[in-house]
Amino acid sequence: MSTTITIKNLTKRFGDVVAVNNVSLTIEAGTFLTLLGPSGCGKTTLLRCIAGLEDPNEGEIYIGDKLVYSSIKGISLQPGARDLGLVFQNYALWPHMTVYKNITFALEMQKLTKAQMDERVHEALKEVQMDGYENRYPREMSGGQQQRIALARMLAYRPKVFLMDEPLSNLDARLRMDMRTELKRLHHISGATTIYVTHDQVEALTMSTNIAVMKLGVVQQLDTPDRVYHFPANLFVADFIGNPKVNLLDGTVSGQNQVKVGDFALDVETFNARGKMVVAVRPEDIAVLTEPELNAVEFTAYSVLPAGADSTIVAQRGDVEVTVKVMGISKIKMDQKIWLKFDPTSLNLYDKESGNLVTG
């Protein structure tokens, strides 16, 4: 059983700062929605408003059918009255309680038997690879282990909605990867509506069913990870998502479905747009050739950076610099002549002035 969350025209100000600016979102039951964006874009504030930890200035929030916040109707339910299950804003464990007690403390309200609690604790600890730690105190564990216990506490509670704010930020890279796997399993198994805050695009892309990319309190795009990656709604989203970063090439429409970039032209659907444009192309969507070919543009390999599974090549032609990502260890040498082939279907066109994706 999971819950739909509906947010209508929500605004939260701190003095002159508009942390959340007229945000409307429908988060369908069972969605794993990630709020993604740079520091200060309002993700945490939006999550806290949903949780009832922050009082917005305007708008409405529904959790399921329940109106939990309405500025006009003067409704603002306490966090405990929002049917959220449990809100995880503060991951700190209670220092004077053992792991077992930390996990079962919140379960006591659910009136489970001792055997049921034992089973929940056991399952949750196994899930985060911490079984056997029941009798430890937080001070007897590393920061990463404490965070995993906090996650186990959340799993054991089995809420209808998960609210999580950067839960993996203190973990090392390896453990973060493992926990992504587990969190995704957790969502898969529980089907609980999940709202997850992060500034880490890989976390967002790997775990979410939907991503809301935010900037200055405004949702720039709400879409599937696939669409956010392949069809960013504007230059901000295009630039924020992807590593290495997307190539953003300044150009001008020079004909039907043609944009001039530097001294060469790229074939790209222009949808009758005119004037100054930015052509966006992902580094992995460019083919590198060592011989000339029709429609391939000559460049020089400025730098070649092999990284095991793939290599990054930074190529130059005049003032135009393009980053290309190829599979495996590249044999290309620095300063070698190469020919880049751009696939017209993988190029996106943005209006230079508005920064918006040009579509039909």
Binding positions for ligand ATP, rule: CB under 6 A: 14, 17, 19, 37, 39-45, 199
Residues 6+ apart with CB under 8 A from 15: none
- Nearer to ligand ATP by C-beta: 61 or 130? 61
Which 3-state string (H, E, C) describes 82-110? CCCEEEECCCCCCCCCCHHHHHHHHHHHH
**285-308 b/e (C-beta count within 10 Å ≥ 16 → b):** bbebeeeeeeebbebebeebeeee
Q: Which amino acid is present at 50?
A: I
Q: Shortest distance, CB of residue 20 to ligand ATP, whole angstroms?
A: 7
Question: Residue 26 CB, nearest distance to ligand ATP (Å)?
Answer: 21
Residue 53 or 97 having the CB closest to ligand ATP: 53
In contact, 81 and 69? CB cutoff 8 Å = no
Residue 57 Cβ vs ligand ATP, minimum distance, rounded to whole Å = 13
Q: Quick one: 222 or 349, whose CB is closer to ligand ATP?
A: 222
Cβ of residue 166: shortest distance to ligand ATP, in angstroms? 7
Angle of helix 114-127 relative to helix 173-190, nearest 10 degrees, comes to: 130
Count the neighbouring beta carbons within 10 Å of the beta carbon of residue 55: 11
DSSP category for residue 3: -
Smallest separation, CB 320 to ligand ATP (Å): 34
Output 43 or 160, the one with its CB closest to ligand ATP: 43
Nearest CB to ligand ATP, comparing residues 14 and 94:
14
Nearest-CB residue for ligand ATP: 44
Shorter beta-carbon distance to ligand ATP: residue 19 or 151? 19
> Which residues, at least 6 apart from 3, have a Cβ–Cβ distance to it below 8 Å?
29, 63, 64, 83, 160, 161, 193
Q: How far is the CB of 43 from ligand ATP (least distance, A)?
A: 4
